[in-house]
Structure 1
Amino acid sequence: MAERERVLLDWARQVLMLDTLNIDAVIADASTRRYVRLRSAQQTHIVMDAPGEATMIAQFARVAGLLRRAGVTVPSISAAHAEQGFMIMSDFGKQIYLTAVQDHDPQSLYRSALDSLIRIQQHADASSLPPYDREFLLREMRLFQEWFLERHLGVSVSPETKAMLESAFEFLCDAAGEQPQVFVHRDYHSRNLMYLDGSEPGIIDFQDALYGPLGYDLASLLRDVYIEWPIEQFNDWLRYYHAQAGALVEAVDLNTLTRWVDLMGVQRHLKIAGLFVRLALRDGKRGFLDDLPLTLRYLEHVSRQHERLHPLARLLSTLELRA
């Protein structure tokens, strides 16, 4: 057993007062964090293992409180050791939405996920969260040029192409700014929603939440880079959200909402294209490259539907888009 796992296990046994606690599984994610499932004779627990991330541990606990008060299901926290980077929380099991849709009705699952999202956007107090502002949005989108175009594809970006990209980025920032600003989970998708025996989803991985555009989490869910839905299903779920969201969109028609989701999806997928390459090349997590093709299909398809993004669509169509 590695030294850190021994320290984690000793601490967990002490705070949970369970001598028979053992490590059942270790789950990595896209960050430096990992999640350890601990098992006793009676139950299981999840431990977030985030060395050197005391601030993030505190942020996770704070955001969990915001979401719990909004009326959605998040893990309960049993104990934390900020200095070590440990946090013990309840275990939602192993079935994420990505696999649950194979055995359960996607319509029911996604309507439940949309209901939870509406509660978050209506009731989660995001006033204390950092803003998802123009500077933040631009920094994310510029990952596309640096990591995807230059480092992954080896493209030498001309001044003209750089100017085109910056114009597209500014357009997308403007679109974000015209939307209602709400609590934004930032990764509200099929790998961060847990199936809980037919009830509303268990929501995880919310510690990086920001205060930003309403369409962002909708794009994360409905144009998920890990699973693709037919356009008819996308439209049906967006109509459901529009009908249920009440005051959030009462002054917004469905076409405008669709435009917001489209454009926030482009912003997100530009970021993800760069981020997945960075995870592969810098951090050795090459499995993320498997999800690049769908990300790029979304980018080209949606860019073709919006005139201001036609130059971006043309760029995408001329590149050798290899994962």
Structure 2
Amino acid sequence: MSQQTCRGNGAIGGQRVSIDNKVMSSYSDKEIIALAIVLLQDKGLLAASDIASKRLLVDVIASDGSTRRFWRFALGKTPLCIVVAPLTASEVELKESRSAWCIGRHLYAKGCSVPQLFAWHEESGLLVFDDLGDRRLHSVIVPENGTTDRVRVREQYVEVICKLVHMQIEGAVDFESDWCWDGDCYNKELMLERESGYFLSAFWHGLLQHNMPEGILDECQYLAELAAKAPADYFLHRDFQSRNIMIADGVPKFIDFQGGRLGPLGYDLASLLIDPYTALDYAMQEELEDIYISEMSRYVKLDSSVFRKEFHALALQRNLQIIGAFSFLSQVRGKSFFASYLQPALQVAKYRLEQPIFADFPLLKSMIDHGLTCI
């Protein structure tokens, strides 16, 4: 993808778009909405008559763990787009916004199952996405009426897996590390800081208020070494779970890809299968892992026994990240929604640690067991 593709819509009609000459500062909700209207008009998605006739409707959308702001724009009952903006126009938030634009445009151009991006405004970080509706994979797998069709669940996951395989292969083609705002590759440093380190700081020390047991850092280092054996040459979403998968007109579409980078195959699969939001039973997880191996083997030569060992290590890394994230979001951010998923996440980690590959992890096993008695 050329650098031109990654340029935003800062210039409209030959003039730099700015509200009150505001650059690199915070934009109010009102300012973001006004700016989005200008961008939509420039793209031909919104006419002046739509505004004059008051057909344009703007509704706030609640977020999960993100600090970003979300709005749905519609013309009467017809969805128009989703507008996303960072809380502030800080340097870090603007880099994240740029990543969403660059990576999203790249994935869409490669035929990956992601929403189309219509516009990006560099100074505010505003992004305009196609509206995929409100139906997530999570709500399909865990319906409000509590009735789950196992056959339908399997079919839905198989479709997701096929589209994941395509994204992992095609998304890596012509991928540019310059697009990444928070690291361009999944590696040991990330594992130790953002995953096992997150578990230790946010869960063990932050939530449970315990000191670190002597030797736990050695176990974390060993786990990272096991996980790092997997080749990191494929597109990695890094938060590939059921609340980031929309079902639009029956088709799975992937969102929240701004943390994308190159990484190993097994990580996103692990994120999907051990997702605490859906709590797939272990038999279903193993069946879907087999299906993934079969599908990926059409494109990549895989040694299934080696892949499964790598998968276990990557799944545990992801599991520790989940526990750390849910601890932080529930305790520090005050988002109680995440607290109820801590115990399922710990149960999955306990199950994972029973695998023979983790025979030399006594401290981590005892910490997970203790955590289950406290949550």
Fold similarity call, TM over 0.5: yes
Residue ranges of structure 2 left out of the alignment (5+ in a row): 1-26
Q: Is 2:87 the counterpart of 1:35?
A: no
Find the aligned partners of 2:284 and 2:155 in 1 and give their Cα distance: 12
Alpha-carbon RMSD: 2.0
Instruction: Judge conservation of contact 1:127–1:211 (CA < 8 Å) in 2.
Output: no
Q: Offset of 1:184 from its aligned partner?
A: 0.8
Report the counterpart of residue 71 of structure 1 in structure 2.
111
Q: In structure 2, how many angstroms separate the alpha carbons of the residues matched to 1:214 and 1:172?
A: 17
Q: Letter of the aligned partner of 1:113 in structure 2?
A: V
CA contact (8 A) 1:77 1:89 kept: yes
Structure with larger Rg: 2
**Which amino acid in structure 2 is aligned with residue 188 of structure 1?**
F
1:250 maps to what in 2? 301
CA distance in 2, matches of 1:299, 1:43: 40
After TM superposition, the structure 1 = structure 2 runs for residues 1-323 of structure 1, keeping only pairs within 5 Å, are 4-17=28-41, 18=46, 19=51, 20=54, 21-41=56-76, 42-50=78-86, 51-52=88-89, 53-101=93-141, 102=143, 105-125=152-172, 126=175, 128=177, 129=180, 130-140=184-194, 141-158=196-213, 160=214, 163=215, 165-181=216-232, 182-199=234-251, 201-246=252-297, 249-253=300-304, 255-305=305-355, 306-319=358-371, 321-323=373-375
Identity %: 26
Letter aligned with residue 337 of structure 2: G
**Which runs of 4 or more aligned residues in structure 1 lie more than 4 Å from their structure 2 counterparts after TM superposition?**
none
Decide whether the 8 Å contact of 1:148 with 1:274 is kept in 2: yes
Displacement of 1:63 after TM fit? 0.6
Distance, in Å, in 1 between the alignment partners of 2:291 and 2:371 is: 36
Amino acid at match of 1:191: R
- Contact residue 63 and residue 70 of structure 2 kept, 8 A: yes
- TM norm structure 2: 0.79
Q: Distance in 2 between matches of 1:319 and 1:275?
A: 15
Q: Secondary structure at the match of 1:195?
A: strand
Summarize the Cα distance change of 1:278–1:318 in structure 2 as closer, same or farther, 3 Å threshold: closer
Please give the TM-score of this superposition, normalised by the length of structure 1.
0.90
Number of corresponding residues: 315
CA contact (8 A) 1:137 1:173 kept: yes
Over residues 228-280 of structure 1, what are the superposed CA-to-partner deviations in whole Å (9 max), with x where a residue is unaligned?
Answer: 11211111111111111126652412x33232222212111212212222222
Summarize the Cα distance change of 1:321–1:212 in structure 2 as closer, same or farther, 3 Å threshold: farther
Deviation at 1:321, TM superposition (A): 4.0
Q: How far apart in 2 are the matches of 1:72 and 1:319? A: 39
Q: Aligned partner of 1:278: which letter?
A: F
